[in-house]
Structure 1
Amino acid sequence: MKWLRTVVSLWFGMSILAGTAAAQTLHPVDAGGGALSSPAVHGAYLYVGTGATINVWDMSDPAEPAYVGRTGASPAPGPISSLAVVGDYLYAAWSSMGMAAGITIYSLADPAHPVGAAEYDDYVDSAFFGPVGLVASGALLYLGDAQNGLFVLDTSNPTAPSVIGQASDIYAFDAMAINGTQLLTSGSSFLGGRLVYAIDVSDPTMPSVEGSAELDGGSVLRAVLTDGYAIGVGNDLLVYDTHDGANITQVYATAIEQATGAIRLGDVLYLVGDSGIQVWDFATPTAPSLIRTVAAPTFAPDQTAVTPFGPLVLTHTDRAVLLGTTDPLQPTLAAQFDVPVGVSAHAAGFDGTHAYFAEEGYGLGVADATTLAPVGRYDADLPPYLAARDMEDISVDGGRAYLAAWGYGVLIADLTNPAAPVELGRFEFPFASAIEAHGDRVYVASTTNGGIFKVLDVSNPASPQELGSILTSQTYDLTVRGNHAFLVDGANFGDGGLRIVDISNPSAPTVVGQEQSCPFASGVFVSDDGNTTYVACSSDTTFASALQVIDTTDKTQPLLLGSLALPGLPPNLTDYNDAHSVVVVGDTAYVGNEYGLDEVDVSNPAAPTWMARHDTGYVVRKVELAPDGRVFAFSSVGGVHVFAPERGDAIFADGFDG
């Protein structure tokens, strides 16, 4: 793997050199949010990976967790999947879409502020790799790689581990647990089921598979591994006895109210689901019994863990929930705290003091504009499933936030008190995906099953009214300049490309011009005067992904001025790269794409010039521009990466935002 990491590093190093003709204009200053890792603990500190960063809480008083900060100024090269602590070091396994992967090693000399001490990627020589799970036992670290198997690492030299053993016939590592000389691992099979492996590690230099089992049925969503038992949860509760690893046996099965997490505390088992905590008597694992269900804010649990501070649930709605177990049969809510930036923020809007994030699982997250520390949130009252609560886009205007909720439509929130936004009204429009607000008008469009563009009157936000609409194809993005709306579409349900709509009569919006050299357009940015339009093109008529510059002075006859195909990724993906989003500042376009954020010089519209790439470790679907010049790149599970102009500003220099 080292050779591939070297190639990738050289490529992104070359991206800086390539910008010598027109030097890059941004530098990274912060990162946060993204998919949740399994947590880790060192003393009184709790560590949770979100995207490419480590978040730290001081849990000295578990009833009042204190957020310390995150490693935002020095993110890992890719989304972090798991964490483990050995001595005074924190190990974080990460993977960048299979292109690069490894372990970032942090020193915990100051446990409140992890500091990157080393990168380790020499555990296997492979063209494909994917470190997924980590578990520590003494000075040994067990690493599960979904492409290459199990590796046993000796951490006697903490910043330079060495492989002392491996087993290449195991590929399921979503969960790992070690009890004595038995290591249990679990993950998805190639057919979509759940597998459990029992591995004998009595001799860590020669780990050997004792046996395995496939958890019965397609109703199991996750497996939780405990001492002597593997517990499958989903629509069923399944219990497998793993004491004899060579003969893993199902000992119990029953249908349950859906749960996607489980926590075992001795003779008590908590099943965690959208409706709360199911408390089970587990004294007899072959015959557990449901005692009660306790209401708790655990909708969409992503991670569950036993910690010294109490059972912990990390949800897809940016909540961390700590349970009190003075009486294990009557768990209580000991603490609840927010995960900064968000597990899956899709877009952002800004005012002078706050950033407002469109969050996938619940609604609106409000953060301090400078530090991105959580300030407040708005939880939309929507059906309790994630598709209905998926906030695809946001527009902030006149003290209100307008959200495009894919599963519902338009939601309007009052931002007078950012700590507690209040819903003002809503408009039903399923599959809403792009939105922009100007005064009493809201412009919103859909993508799924064919596009529709609507103009809404929100002068009475409690009762938005549709003024007019037109059919489109698949509108992925839009913006408004004066009396014209600029839409970009995919071609699966009609004409793709740029569509210019006259909205001077909002009751009768009319397409007045189209430019169709990009049949699959994803993002759009338009100059203030409306005369120059930039399109992030996923696939043009030559099947290239490109940034297009279009003259839209004459709205009825948009004219393609120039186009630049974005470079792919050597050595095997040089021609593959989709452009997804674009914003322009001066003569520089910032283009979100499959591999990060690219800078393109557009001073000569007829010949845009590629300048540099900022690697984010995951696909950048959306790019937003803050009022102070910072550029926010939204990379889904990889989190939000923040860049500032090269002139720099001291207030953005500290990645910890306490």
Structure 2
Amino acid sequence: MFALAMVPFAATSVHAQSLRCIEEHLVSETRLDERPISYAMLDNGTLAVLHIDPDAVIRFYDTSHDTLELVGEYIPSSASYRNTIHAHGNDIYTCLPASDHPDSQDAIFVIDASDPSNPTLRTEISVEHNLNLADFEGNTAYFMNDDFLGPGDGFLYVYDITDPDKPIRRRRVNTGLRVPREHGFQVAGGLMHISTYDRISTYTIDEAGQTKWQHAYRFDVNAVWAMEAVGQMLYMGHDEKFEIYDFSDPANPTLRASDDRPSYGGIIIDGSTAYVLQNGIGVYDVSNPDAPHLTGHFSDYAGVNGVIPFNDRVLVTRDSGVSIFNQTVKDYQGPEPLTTLTGGEPHEMVIQDNTAYIANGSFRMTIYDLTDPMAPVFLDAVGEGYFSEDYRQIAADEDSIVTASDEGTIGIFTNIDPTQPDHVASISDFVSVTDMDIENNLLVVIGFVEGDSPGVTEGTLGIYDITEPANPIQRSMLPGFGDPQWIRLTDSSAITYDASSDFDTDHRGLVSFDITDPATPAYVKNISATSGGVSGFSFDQPCPIAFSGQYAYVGIGESISILSSSGPDTFEVLADVLTGYQPGSIHIQGELMIVEANGLYLYDISDPLNPVRVGMANRLEFPTNFEPKPQIVGDAVVALHRDIGFISYEMDTCITCSADLNHDHVLDFFDVSIFLAAYIAQSAEADLNNDGVYDFFDVSDFLVQFNSGCP
């Protein structure tokens, strides 16, 4: 099993649970370019995806295999779709707004995808509004426009689609309701539920499509974010709870159950299972509507916007593609984020000798014993008496711990007693500090200082000698930065990243400085601007970096570039590794590289130019603009999460074996068979050295790993 511990920073209790590595459930991942904005599953097992960048197209993918396979597409003849797509049977319904229609006419297009390799337009329904909400019951289709057009324009259209080639309009009515764009409209069991932000209005519907208002329930919340109706039951999510209501008596609905986990996205009911988007995907057993219980919780990449259960698979759709999981993912117990974290605002963490020091906002510096990384123990909170600002940054070496506040004050502590650091000095040269690093008793700070004019600040790099922590000596101050983001030290080099795109200086982008003489730091080169610079670099990318011996690993786009780093003037690209995700931060300890990207990916870099992904910790979304600083402590990976606390993973149990292709922890004929099939099909599963080529080296790697056995 794969164990997890989560520790809120103001508490001494430990929230622990058992879980397995999510890769045991993951079947495949498919990246979809050209901006997929809407997904729909047809009865024939075809996934329809609406793309709108650069041009609108509906693509159809076969889901009967382990990976999505493109089988067909439908391209508008002279306009672009800008709305959602909806499936009924094997037909796709989507509205084309008048602004895009060649005849300046709002219309619903009905596309026959019974043969997804050759989708055809069945008919075009002329309407008077841009109808981008839809639901179906039997052979009746219901369409509404959302609140984009403003109050009082919630028009409902009802069509008989018994013959989808000739839909018959039964009714059009102005409900007068402002309907949210997503999940605000549900029809089931002869009832129609319309969500209008803080209330739900319910109507009965007769066979002719006539509607009669029955009930409007106002919720004491900011917004109803999600609804799913099944028969007389309505599953509803808002920013406080996931709730189940019984509408057997539509005029007097009753609350059957309530779960104190907020829902910020969709709700999908599959038999007795509910999938709820709530800081990841919560999986509930709702077989007893009076007592639903959470059976699993997992997160995918950022941008998750839907779940589609189909046959024995669970498809998770997101802004950039689709992940396919086995149904066993329903029982996966991933870390369930706590809704609140009292007593602290953690910003950054360093670990020295099994002791964690956290820059914890108004709680200053909090200290934890990580002797058992699965059960961190709170030791102390220090810094209250030294200065009043919140702690935001922290750095450490063997002798000193350095903190920086939100107002730029730098505090220096000695850690002779690691559990009780002693404040010995302060530095007040900066008005704000962006980042710090320490190496060989040199403290290098990057941030902003007061400029020549009142109220004007200037990006500056400062170097301090802290050989005597109680007497820090300023060695130099180097101005000329526009928007400094971070700094890293390696040997005699300082590497900075400046995100400014319009600041006329060599310091912008990814830049190396020679600090052999700390009194005269010298600009060496803009790494991203040289002929051998990082491919695809642009100034708006964060470019996380980490060093290992003579190599630097830089995250660029959806890849990691490996650079030589034997000196400040030798940064040249040696290799690129495609990752399939955009690295948020990179950390290296020994021969293991940990990459954060809405989860923690583990790579073996014993061969520095050929990193091999050996496993991953759970795909937990980390907050934007927050670096979790994962580090290895004993046999665990410990990371920091602003909203949860510590997240500790037992490392060995999450590391996968590349030869165990069916993830049953046994190496046998079935793994060989899967590899051969993947190799012949040139599937990514067979590209074991991640070079994009399927050749002898992949076969050799497989045989070596197969013969070596798995841990």
What is the distance in 2 between the residues matched to 1:192 and 1:435? 50
- The equivalent residue for 2:148 is 189
Higher Cα Rg: structure 1 or 2? 2
- State the AA in 2 paired with 1:117: E
Task: Report 1:425-504 matches (<5 A).
Answer: 434-438=393-397, 442-445=401-404, 450-455=407-412, 469-470=426-427, 472-489=430-447, 494-504=457-467
Task: Report 1:123-134 matches (<5 A).
Answer: 123=75, 133=84
Task: Report 1:174-185 matches (<5 A).
Answer: 177-179=135-137, 180-184=139-143
Task: Report 1:631-642 matches (<5 A).
Answer: 632=595, 634=597
- State the AA in 1 paired with 2:68: G
1:305 equivalent in alignment to 2:268 = yes
What is the distance in 2 between the residues matched to 1:526 and 1:165? 64
- The equivalent residue for 1:91 is 47
- State the AA in 2 paired with 1:254: R
- The equivalent residue for 1:256 is 220
1:294 equivalent in alignment to 2:258 = yes
Post-superposition shift, 1:533? 1.3
- Specify which structure has the bigger relative contact order, considering alpha-carbon pairs within 8 angstroms and separated by 6 or more residues: 1
1:542 equivalent in alignment to 2:504 = yes
> Cα gap change, 1:88/1:247 in structure 2, threshold over 3 Å: closer, same or farther?
closer
1:138 equivalent in alignment to 2:94 = no
- The equivalent residue for 1:118 is 70
What is the distance in 1 between the residues matched to 2:477 and 2:586? 24
- The equivalent residue for 2:25 is 69
CA deviations on 1:220-240 (whole Å, 9 max, x unpaired) are 997353445344365x22326
- State the AA in 2 paired with 1:542: D
Q: CA RMSD in A?
A: 5.7
CA deviations on 1:178-202 (whole Å, 9 max, x unpaired) are 4444255776739899988758584
- State the AA in 2 paired with 1:398: D
What is the distance in 1 between the residues matched to 2:583 and 2:128? 34
Post-superposition shift, 1:412? 5.2
> Cα gap change, 1:507/1:565 in structure 2, threshold over 3 Å: closer, same or farther?
same
CA deviations on 1:69-107 (whole Å, 9 max, x unpaired) are 3256654458976654335646375879x6799778665
Post-superposition shift, 1:648? 5.4
What is the distance in 2 between the residues matched to 1:414 and 1:196? 61
Q: 1:333 aligns with which of 293, 301, 307?
A: 293
1:561 equivalent in alignment to 2:524 = yes
Post-superposition shift, 1:115? 1.1
> Cα gap change, 1:242/1:395 in structure 2, threshold over 3 Å: closer, same or farther?
farther
Task: Report 1:355-370 matches (<5 A).
Answer: none
What is the distance in 2 between the residues matched to 1:620 and 1:192? 43
TM-score of the aligned structures, taking structure 2 as reference length: 0.57
Q: In the alignment, is the contact (CA less than 8 A) between 1:524 and 1:535 conserved in 2?
A: yes
Post-superposition shift, 1:557? 2.5
How many residues get paired? 538
1:322 equivalent in alignment to 2:270 = no
CA deviations on 1:303-345 (whole Å, 9 max, x unpaired) are 32222232332321x462404342x3x233151334378889x
What is the distance in 1 between the residues matched to 2:297 and 2:560? 35
- State the AA in 1 paired with 2:64: A
Q: In the alignment, is the contact (CA less than 8 A) between 1:102 and 1:120 conserved in 2?
A: no
Q: In the alignment, is the contact (CA less than 8 A) between 2:88 and 2:136 conserved in 1?
A: yes
1:520 equivalent in alignment to 2:483 = yes
> Cα gap change, 1:250/1:78 in structure 2, threshold over 3 Å: closer, same or farther?
farther
- The equivalent residue for 2:195 is 232
- State the AA in 2 paired with 1:536: Y
- The equivalent residue for 2:64 is 109
Q: In the alignment, is the contact (CA less than 8 A) between 2:390 and 2:405 conserved in 1?
A: yes
Give the secondary-structure state (helix, strand or coil) at the position aligned to 1:189. Answer: helix
What is the distance in 1 between the residues matched to 2:23 and 2:524? 50
More displaced 10-residue stretch of structure 1: 119-128 or 265-274: 119-128
Q: In the alignment, is the contact (CA less than 8 A) between 2:298 and 2:334 conserved in 1?
A: no
Post-superposition shift, 1:438? 4.6
CA deviations on 1:33-70 (whole Å, 9 max, x unpaired) are xxxxxxxxxxxxxxxxxxxxxxxxxxxxxxx9997432
CA deviations on 1:335-357 (whole Å, 9 max, x unpaired) are 1334378889xxxxxxxxxxxxx
Give the secondary-structure state (helix, strand or coil) at the position aligned to 1:513. Answer: strand
> Cα gap change, 1:75/1:435 in structure 2, threshold over 3 Å: closer, same or farther?
farther
Give the secondary-structure state (helix, strand or coil) at the position aligned to 1:534. Answer: strand
- The equivalent residue for 1:282 is 247
Structure with the higher strand share, 1 or 2: 1
What is the distance in 1 between the residues matched to 2:467 and 2:78? 59
TM-score of the aligned structures, taking structure 1 as reference length: 0.61
What is the distance in 1 between the residues matched to 2:487 and 2:359? 17
> Cα gap change, 1:221/1:122 in structure 2, threshold over 3 Å: closer, same or farther?
closer
What is the distance in 1 between the residues matched to 2:147 and 2:446? 37
Give the secondary-structure state (helix, strand or coil) at the position aligned to 1:496. Answer: strand
- The equivalent residue for 2:8 is none
> Cα gap change, 1:478/1:382 in structure 2, threshold over 3 Å: closer, same or farther?
farther
Task: Report 1:411-426 matches (<5 A).
Answer: 415-417=370-372
Q: In the alignment, is the contact (CA less than 8 A) between 1:224 and 1:232 conserved in 2?
A: yes
What is the distance in 2 between the residues matched to 1:543 and 1:456? 35
What is the distance in 2 between the residues matched to 1:408 and 1:145? 54
Give the secondary-structure state (helix, strand or coil) at the position aligned to 1:555. Answer: coil
- The equivalent residue for 1:23 is none
CA deviations on 1:550-598 (whole Å, 9 max, x unpaired) are 112222322211114569xxxxx997644443334566644446x4446
> Cα gap change, 1:584/1:331 in structure 2, threshold over 3 Å: closer, same or farther?
same
Q: In the alignment, is the contact (CA less than 8 A) between 2:443 and 2:465 conserved in 1?
A: yes
- State the AA in 1 paired with 2:445: L
What is the distance in 1 between the residues matched to 2:152 and 2:562? 45
- The equivalent residue for 1:267 is 232
Give the secondary-structure state (helix, strand or coil) at the position aligned to 2:480. Answer: coil
Where structure 1 has 5 or more consecutive residues not aligned to the other structure, the ranges are 1-63, 345-372, 568-572
Task: Report 1:552-631 matches (<5 A).
Answer: 552-565=515-528, 577-585=540-548, 589-592=552-555, 595-597=557-559, 599=561, 601=563, 605-606=568-569, 621-625=584-588, 627-630=590-593
